[in-house]
């Protein structure tokens, strides 16, 4: 079939270790990037872009951040939404203090604030593991949300207690506020997510990623091999929080437009954790697949029933979604603990050797 | 890495595109004129206890108009519910899904969903009706021409509560030296009245004690009520929503707090008080419309909707506080559409027309009688500058079975509330640099 590597010889070590060793993969990636960057904004339409694609990319980025920490380094975290909140509030403060600086600079910069907070809450990870660490990050979640509610300085003393994205422009065109077109907002989000995904890919395929995975697989062995645990774990916390922070800033500025502290609640953290689990721990594609499934499924279900000519109440669809997602989480944990990414790997392997079953 | 993800993304988006294709402007099935009214409701999630009766009331009134009169002004109302679960992201998704289909207005029923819609309303030309919730400052129609929040704001409500307490004590000056506790949802909604409350405390000389309840802790308020027990406030004021209300009432009965000194803003329902048992007797809350089914409009709903099996309301639940609040909300929707039809001469109206229609709302006693709402609520008049009406509210008391109105309508203290509201609107404009000046023409001079 089309997907086979016959005749593609690797003549150098570099080619053999490439992220995409098979030519079809590279072509496929190029096509997808082309679709995402060109076809989608041209033909996508307002609803698809602003209610499906932007949220999906934001969640994918947050899931990717959590995946770096939980999937690659093995540190369970329940503070994702809190770190997203730090990014969002940092970006809000920065852009209201320095309105003349381009918003995209602040979105990326806000990740560093989130990273710093992440490092602080990652400190206990040297001593505590597993469930206990989860509880420590849970503390981060509650503490950060408490700050968002209780420190009026963070939301510029707004009477509503919410942060509102002011109008900011890029090349003279608004990217936030009511006049920003969905196409432009989508392209900004997509560019940032694509850039950060590329960086993450390089991180996990390099020395840093390998040391993370070594810590995940057995921290004592990793230590004996000369990996310093604390810096490695803290770096994972920092990078993970950076990604979450940028996702949070994107969420408030390019998607919601304004946000109450309630947006960064524990349920958001769980949602992203589910995305990582269903998508596949320790896999970058998994983060995208998980976000697509968990966020996309309710939307598809919502439109599916009217399409089939069934009149189902809006609330019933919601109940069905809860049941389906719940069943899926249990099902995946039993049948395919490595998530959608693992299914994708299996499919790819089968295609490579097709038609032979081995 | 990003490879497969994107395959799936594009597949999903392809599917979504297909789905999106069938979303077009709404028409009644027989092709006649129709007006599309999306209702953002929440029948699921932690706030569904409050959301379900409201959703039923809103839907049933509009359905009644469809059944009895064939809609409003000869144009059927296309009602469509969108489930938000009180979740901002789902609310925004609902908004994106309906905004291209010429909705005459949106009713977010959540402050969190209202806030992001405020700047968009003017651009998308879709008015937002956030009835007695949302951003209190949006009562100023000159600054927020597209946002409506009648008939009163949370600040109005607070001043009414303070007035009610003063009336009980025998005058505003008697508040001096008293202690008033404030238990509230620790979110924008509950925090909004605090500056005003503090101002009252300073002016009138009473002591204010704050008992915030985090949204995650709504069902666990023992520490707050322990504080109440220790501080012994003379009165308790509550701004709660969802599970906060029944829990607070239960905790109050547990510490034997005198219920007739426990006064809430207008959100607790019958179920909230009932679940606390006999001890809840005497619990008070504000309201601005009738409860029960003793009104022609409610009788019509029973006759044309409930008895025909067209409603989702449980037997005997029609006429409850929040159900009737939904009815009131839908009455405003229908009046907005009707006025818009009058102003434009069209049957099928747009969001822009309905914005003018809402500004033209004038519920005179005669008009209320025509609507079958005589004695149901007070007259209300909106205008270009006043999108709220700052109407009076009354106090009702739980007698163990139902809420009973005690005392007459109490006007908000306009002199205290007005400056705060104006300052808040100004502050909003300042913080959102480039906020557009009102360019919409005014119909009523």
Q: What structural domains and CATH numbers belong to chain B?
A: 33-152+291-382 (3.40.50.2300), 154-287+393-413 (3.40.50.2300)
In a domain, A308, yes or no: yes
- pLDDT at residue number B11: 43
Cα dihedral angle (B134, B137, B141, B142), rounded to 10 degrees?
Answer: -140
DSSP label at residue B377: B
CB contact under 8 A, B43 and A318: yes
- Cα A357 to chain centroid, rounded: 35
A32 neighbourhood in chain B, CB within 8 Å: 2-3, 6-7, 9-10
CB contact under 8 A, A288 and B8: yes
CB contact under 8 A, B100 and A46: yes
Query: Which candidate from B15, B188, B214 shows the least CB-CB separation from A160?
Result: B188
- pLDDT at residue number B49: 85
CB contact under 8 A, B119 and A257: yes
Query: Which candidate from A25, A256, A261 shows the least CB-CB separation from B92?
Result: A256
Residue-wise pLDDT for B107-165, tens only, equals 999 888 998 999 999 999 999 999 988 888 888 999 999 999 999 899 999 999 999 99
Decide if B83 contacts B43 (C-beta within 8 A): yes
Q: How far is CA A78 from CA A66, B97, B215, in A?
A: 9, 31, 18
Decide if B8 contacts A55 (C-beta within 8 A): no
Q: What's the gap in Å between the CA of B434 and the closest CA on chain A?
A: 8
Question: What tokens appear for B316 in the block?
Answer: 């005997």
Return d(Cα B270, Cα B314) in angstroms, integer. 14
Return d(Cα B270, Cα B256) in angstroms, integer. 20
Chain position carrying tokens 């979604």: A321
CB contact under 8 A, A160 and B8: no
Residue-wise pLDDT for B394-417, tens only, equals 999 999 999 999 988 999 998 888
Chain position carrying tokens 């997602």: A325
- Quick one: closest CA in B to A165, which residue? B432
> Domain range for residue A301?
44-353
Counting one residue from chain A and one from chain B, the pairs whose CB atoms sit within 8 A come to 197
Cα dihedral angle (A320, A324, A325, A327), rounded to 10 degrees?
Answer: 140
Return d(Cα B412, Cα B425) in angstroms, integer. 19
Decide if A229 contacts A91 (C-beta within 8 A): no
Return d(Cα A58, Cα A252) in angstroms, integer. 10
For residue A337, the domain's CATH number is: 1.10.3470
Question: What tokens appear for B297 in the block?
Answer: 């409009």
User: What burial class does residue A100 get, using C-beta atoms within 10 Å of its C-beta: 0-12 exposed, 13-18 middle, 19+ buried?
Assistant: exposed
- pLDDT at residue number B445: 53
In a domain, A147, yes or no: yes
Q: What's the gap in Å between the CA of B277 and the closest CA on chain A?
A: 30
A259 neighbourhood in chain B, CB within 8 Å: 88, 112, 116
- pLDDT at residue number B10: 44
A47 neighbourhood in chain B, CB within 8 Å: 16, 20, 23, 96-97, 100
CB contact under 8 A, A313 and B81: yes
Return d(Cα B181, Cα B261) in angstroms, integer. 10
In a domain, A249, yes or no: yes
- pLDDT at residue number B31: 57
Cis upstream peptide for A327 (omega within 30°): no
Block means of pLDDT (10 residues each) for chain A, 358 residues, are 78 85 88 93 89 95 96 93 96 93 94 96 88 90 92 86 88 87 94 96 94 94 94 96 97 91 91 92 93 89 80 81 86 87 88 78
Return d(Cα A355, Cα A67) in angstroms, integer. 34
**% of chain B residues with pLDDT over 90:** 63
B13 neighbourhood in chain A, CB within 8 Å: 40, 44, 48, 52-53
| Mean pLDDT across B196-223 | 91
B119 neighbourhood in chain A, CB within 8 Å: 164, 177-178, 257
Decide if B87 contacts B31 (C-beta within 8 A): no
Query: Does the structure show a pLDDT above 80 at B30?
Result: no
Which residue(s) pair with B394 in the sheet?
B287
In a domain, A20, yes or no: no
Q: What's the gap in Å between the CA of B341 and the closest CA on chain A?
A: 28
Query: Does the structure show a pLDDT above 50 at B19?
Result: no
Strand B76-83, strand B34-41: pairing: parallel
DSSP letters, B282-314, are T-EEEESB--SS-SHHHHHHIIIIITTT---PP
- Helix orientation angle between A54-66 and A80-97, rounded to the nearest 10 degrees: 120
Is the entire prediction scored with pTM above 0.90?
Answer: no
Best of A314, A322, A339, A349 to disrupt the B interface (most B CBs within 10 Å) is A314
DSSP letters, B264-287, are E-S---HHHHHTT-GGGTT-EEEE
- pLDDT at residue number A211: 96
**Number of compact structural domains in chain A:** 1
Return d(Cα B77, Cα B51) in angstroms, integer. 22
Phi and psi angles of residue B395, each rounded to the nearest 5 degrees, phi first: -105, 135
**% of chain B residues with pLDDT over 70:** 93
CB contact under 8 A, B81 and A314: yes
Q: What's the gap in Å between the CA of A230 and the closest CA on chain B?
A: 28
Chain position carrying tokens 């029609």: B318
Question: What tokens appear for A82 in the block?
Answer: 């809190």
Decide if A40 contacts A186 (C-beta within 8 A): yes
In a domain, A115, yes or no: yes
In a domain, A12, yes or no: no
In a domain, A323, yes or no: yes
Closest CA to B444 of B349, B361, B321: B361
CB contact under 8 A, B44 and A262: no
- pLDDT at residue number B6: 45
CB contact under 8 A, A47 and B97: yes
Give strand ranges (E) for B87-228: 128-129, 147-148, 179-185, 207-213
Among B14-23, B276-285, B346-355, whose mean pLDDT is lowest? B14-23
In a domain, A195, yes or no: yes
CB contact under 8 A, A178 and B119: yes
- Quick one: closest CA in B to A286, which residue? B5
A262 neighbourhood in chain B, CB within 8 Å: 88, 112, 187, 215
Query: Who wins on pLDDT, B25 or A346?
Result: A346
A85 neighbourhood in chain B, CB within 8 Å: none
- Quickly state the pLDDT bin for B444 (edges 50, 70, 90): low
Return d(Cα B288, Cα B380) in angstroms, integer. 11
Query: Does the structure show a pLDDT above 50 at B20?
Result: no
Best of B9, B133, B434 to disrupt the A interface (most A CBs within 10 Å) is B9
Residue-wise pLDDT for B328-355, tens only, equals 999 999 999 999 999 999 999 999 999 9
Question: How much of chain B is helix, strand and coil, in % rounded to 5?
Answer: 45, 15, 35
Phi and psi angles of residue A57, each rounded to the nearest 5 degrees, phi first: -65, -40
Chain position carrying tokens 């099935």: B29
């Amino acid at each position: 079939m089309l997907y086979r590597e016959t005749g593609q010889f690797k003549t150098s070590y570099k080619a053999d270790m490439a992220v995409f060793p098979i030519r079809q993969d590279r072509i496929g990636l190029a096509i997808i990037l082309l679709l995402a960057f060109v076809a989608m904004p041209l033909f996508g339409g307002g609803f698809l872009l602003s209610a499906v694609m932007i949220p999906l990319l934001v969640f994918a980025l947050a899931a990717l951040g959590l995946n770096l920490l939980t999937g690659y380094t093995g540190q369970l975290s329940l503070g994702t939404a809190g770190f997203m909140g730090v990014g969002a509030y940092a970006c809000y403060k920065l852009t209201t203090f320095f309105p003349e600086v381009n918003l995209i600079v602040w979105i990326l910069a806000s990740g560093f604030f989130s990273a710093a907070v992440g490092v602080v809450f990652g400190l206990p990870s040297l001593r505590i593991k597993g469930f206990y660490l989860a509880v420590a990050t849970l503390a981060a979640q509650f503490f950060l949300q408490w700050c968002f509610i209780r420190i009026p300085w963070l939301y510029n003393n707004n009477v509503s207690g919410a942060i509102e994205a002011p109008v900011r422009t890029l090349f003279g065109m608004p990217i936030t506020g009511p006049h920003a077109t969905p196409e432009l907002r989508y392209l900004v989000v997509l560019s940032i997510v694509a850039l950060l995904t590329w960086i993450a890919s390089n991180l996990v395929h390099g020395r840093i990623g390998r040391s993370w995975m070594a810590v995940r697989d057995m921290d004592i062995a990793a230590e004996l091999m000369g990996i310093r645990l604390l810096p490695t774990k803290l770096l994972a916390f920092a990078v993970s929080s950076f990604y979450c922070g940028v996702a949070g800033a994107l969420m408030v500025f390019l998607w919601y437009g304004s946000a109450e502290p309630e947006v960064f609640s524990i349920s958001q953290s769980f949602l992203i954790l589910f995305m990582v689990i269903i998508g596949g721990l320790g896999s970058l594609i998994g983060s995208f697949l998980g976000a697509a499934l968990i966020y996309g499924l309710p939307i598809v279900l919502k439109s599916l029933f009217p399409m089939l000519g069934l009149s189902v109440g809006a609330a019933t669809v919601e109940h069905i979604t809860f049941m389906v997602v719940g069943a899926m989480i249990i099902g995946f944990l039993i049948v395919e603990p490595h998530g959608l990414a693992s299914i994708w790997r299996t499919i790819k392997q089968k295609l490579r050797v097709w038609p032979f079953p081995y | 890495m990003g490879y497969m993800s994107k395959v799936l993304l594009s597949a999903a988006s392809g599917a979504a595109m297909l789905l999106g294709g069938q979303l077009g402007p709404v028409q009644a099935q027989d092709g006649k004129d129709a007006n599309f009214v999306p209702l953002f409701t929440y029948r699921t999630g932690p706030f569904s206890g409050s959301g379900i009766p409201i959703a039923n009331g809103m839907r049933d009134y509009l359905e009644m108009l469809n059944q009895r009169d064939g809609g409003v002004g000869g144009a059927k109302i296309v009602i469509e519910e969108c489930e938000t679960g009180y979740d901002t992201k789902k609310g925004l998704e609902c908004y994106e899904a309906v905004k291209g289909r010429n909705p005459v207005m949106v009713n977010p029923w959540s402050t969190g969903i209202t806030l992001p819609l405020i700047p968009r309303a003017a651009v998308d030309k879709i008015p937002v009706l956030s009835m007695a919730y949302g951003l209190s400052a949006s009562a100023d129609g000159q600054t927020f021409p597209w946002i409506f929040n009648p008939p009163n704001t949370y600040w109005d409500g607070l001043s009414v509560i303070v007035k009610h307490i003063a009336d009980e004590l025998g005058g505003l000056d008697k508040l001096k030296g008293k202690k008033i506790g404030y238990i509230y949802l620790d979110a924008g909604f509950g925090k909004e009245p605090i500056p005003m409350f503090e101002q009252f405390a300073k002016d009138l000389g009473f002591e204010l004690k704050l008992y915030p309840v985090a949204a995650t802790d709504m069902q666990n308020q023992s520490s707050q009520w322990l504080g109440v027990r220790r501080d012994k406030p003379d009165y308790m004021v509550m701004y709660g929503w969802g599970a906060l209300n029944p829990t607070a009432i239960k905790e109050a009965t547990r510490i034997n707090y005198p219920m007739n000194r426990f006064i809430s803003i207008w959100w607790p329902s019958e179920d909230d008080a009932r679940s606390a048992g006999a001890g809840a007797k005497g619990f008070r809350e504000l309201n601005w419309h009738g409860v029960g089914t003793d009104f022609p409009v409610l009788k019509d709903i029973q006759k044309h909707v409930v008895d025909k099996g067209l409603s989702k309301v449980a037997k005997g639940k029609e006429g409850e506080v929040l159900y009737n609040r939904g009815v009131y909300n839908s009455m405003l929707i229908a009046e907005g559409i009707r006025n818009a039809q009058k102003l434009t001469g069209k049957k099928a109206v747009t969001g822009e027309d309905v914005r003018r229609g809402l500004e033209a709302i004038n519920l005179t006693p005669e008009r209320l009688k025509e609507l079958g709402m005589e004695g149901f609520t007070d007259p209300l008049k909106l205008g270009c500058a006043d999108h709220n009406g700052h109407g009076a509210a009354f106090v009702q008391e739980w007698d163990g079975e139902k809420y009973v109105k005690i005392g007459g309508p109490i006007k908000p203290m306009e002199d205290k509330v007005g400056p705060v509201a104006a300052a808040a609107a100004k502050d909003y404009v300042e913080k959102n640099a480039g906020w557009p000046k009102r360019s919409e023409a005014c119909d009523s001079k």
